């Protein structure tokens, strides 16, 4: 079966899918994921859609407004982040507050769907697609709270929990590349950058037309290839930095730790590592990463520290 090479989905989101003529592609993906027909009214900028020098290492956000006024956040994340679950909660909450005017009634609050496509193993679980939602259950009867007849007419929903944000997490790295249904056909493309000719998922026909690598201009091919090359280099840098930080940092940190006789900790003197050398080694890895110009998210990825801990270290050394 023929398999066609396509451009990377994050590049497509930035360069092509915001064009109204190409909405069909994203509509197809969202329709397969949400299991109902999605029609896009407009696509806005997400807070992660950056165009600066760190553009290729940060996630790509799209804020989709459907014809029914519901909002869908689509986010790609390539590198691990220890507070990512809270980040997607914040993103959904911000979308709600940003789309209600002061003085509007609470009935104007929009329904929000958050779709996170992650290329790292987020959380602990064996599946590659997870769905999170709010459910109100009776403590004694275990029945699910439904809306009243009046509320059903007002919101066009049945259950109280349907008014609240819903979350989808697609862990691309966990997918085994065996497409069992049409949604899997999309996940196959997200992971491999390829679409097979026998795939029938909504939106993929249009994707074959506009996302084929061979259809790009020479200038677009160079830009796309540079992005892929830079990402691979950054992946290599992260692995190298982690390795260097682990071995060199432990060695230097252990020596300094023995000289000082105490470990450098965080907060109220709590040490992160079990060994004094490990703690000092992590701090040195943070400082080295900052001096090399790495974004905080990248430093967090190869040290395992939170953004808050990294910020505290940098402030303590006058680097922030």
% helix, strand, coil for the chain, step of 5: 50, 15, 35
Q: Which two tokens stand for residue 58?
A: 């940060």
Q: Tens-digit pLDDT profile for the chain (320 aa)? A: 788 788 888 888 888 899 999 999 999 999 999 999 999 999 987 654 444 444 434 455 899 999 999 999 999 987 777 789 999 999 999 999 999 998 999 999 999 999 999 988 899 999 999 999 999 999 999 999 999 999 999 999 999 999 999 999 999 999 999 999 999 999 999 999 999 999 999 999 999 998 888 777 788 778 777 776 676 666 665 556 555 555 455 444 444 544 444 444 443 334 434 344 555 677 888 888 787 777 787 788 777 788 888 888 988 888 88
CA distance 78 to 191: 11
The CA radius of gyration of the chain, in Å to the nearest whole number, is 23
Predicted local confidence at residue 10, as pLDDT: 83
61 and 170 within one domain: yes
How many CB atoms neighbour CB 64 within 10 A? 23
Domain limits at 302? 220-316
232 and 204 within one domain: no
For the whole model, what pTM was predicted? 0.71
Write down which residue in 191, 215, 239 finishes a domain: 215
Of 264, 288, 291, 294, nearest to 276 by C-alpha is 264
Write down which residue in 185, 215, 245 finishes a domain: 215
91 and 68 within one domain: yes
């Amino acid at each position: 079966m023929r398999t066609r090479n396509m451009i990377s989905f994050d590049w497509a989101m930035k360069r092509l899918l915001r064009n109204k003529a190409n909405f069909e592609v994203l509509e197809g993906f969202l329709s397969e994921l949400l299991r109902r027909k999605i029609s896009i009214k407009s696509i806005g900028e997400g807070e992660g859609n950056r165009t600066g020098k760190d553009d290729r290492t940060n996630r790509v956000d799209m804020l989709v407004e459907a014809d029914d006024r519901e909002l869908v956040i689509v986010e790609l994340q390539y590198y691990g982040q220890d507070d990512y679950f809270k980040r997607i909660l914040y993103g959904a909450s911000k979308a709600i507050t940003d789309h209600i005017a002061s003085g509007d009634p609470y009935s104007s609050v929009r329904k929000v769907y958050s779709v996170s496509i992650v290329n790292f193993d987020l959380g602990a679980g064996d599946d590659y697609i997870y769905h999170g939602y709010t459910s109100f259950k009776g403590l004694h009867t275990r029945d699910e709270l439904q809306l009243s007849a009046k509320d059903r007419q007002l919101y066009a929903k049945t259950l109280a929990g349907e008014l609240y944000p819903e979350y989808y997490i697609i862990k691309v790295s966990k997918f085994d590349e065996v497409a069992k249904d049409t949604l899997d056909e999309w996940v196959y493309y997200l992971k491999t950058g390829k679409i097979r000719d026998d795939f029938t998922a909504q939106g993929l026909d249009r994707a074959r037309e506009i996302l084929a690598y061979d259809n790009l201009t020479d200038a677009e091919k160079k830009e796309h290839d540079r992005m892929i090359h830079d990402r691979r280099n950054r992946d290599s840098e992260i692995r190298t930095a982690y390795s260097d930080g682990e071995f060199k940092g432990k060695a230097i940190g252990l020596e300094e730790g023995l000289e000082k006789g105490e470990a450098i900790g965080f907060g109220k003197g709590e040490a992160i590592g079990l060994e004094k050398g490990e703690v000092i080694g992590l701090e040195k890895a943070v400082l080295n990463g900052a001096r090399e110009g790495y974004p905080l998210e990248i430093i967090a990825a190869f040290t395992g520290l939170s953004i808050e801990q990294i910020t505290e270290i940098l402030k303590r050394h006058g680097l922030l």
